[in-house]
Amino acid sequence: MGRGRLRSTLDGGDLTHGDGLELAGSTLWAVQNATDTITRWALSDDYTTATRTRHVTDESLGLPTTLVRRDNCTLVVSSQFDKGGPMGPGTPTTPFKVVAVDGI
C-alpha cells in the first residue's frame, strides 16, 4: 500500500460516529460512540469492501470510545461523555469503566 488514500465500500451498515478501531487479519471491529454500538466487518483482500457481519447496540456501552480484542472477548471503554463531558451535562457515575462484550 502506498501513501495514497484508500476508499472502501461499506455493505450492510455504516461507520457513522466511528471511534475506536481494531484490525486483525481481514476483520475490523469499530465502536460507534453516539449510538452505543460495536460493529464487526469482514474486509476484502484488497480492503476495498467491508461487509458488516455483526453489530451490538446497548446503552450500557455508555458512549464507547475505544476497544481491544483479547481471545474471543471485546473490551470496550465506556466514556460517559454524555454525563458531564463534551456531549452532555451532569456527573459521571464513575470516571470510566471497561465493559466486556462476548460474541462480537
The tens digit of pLDDT for each residue in 17-55 reads: 999 999 999 999 999 999 999 999 999 999 999 999 999
pLDDT of residue 85: 67
51 touches 41 (CB < 8 A) = yes
Buried b (16+ CB within 10 A) or exposed e, 4-30: eeeeeeeeebebeeebbebeeeeebbb
pLDDT of residue 54: 97
| pLDDT over threshold 60, residue 2 | no
- Record the cell numbers describing residue 74, joined without a space: 471485546
41 touches 53 (CB < 8 A) = yes
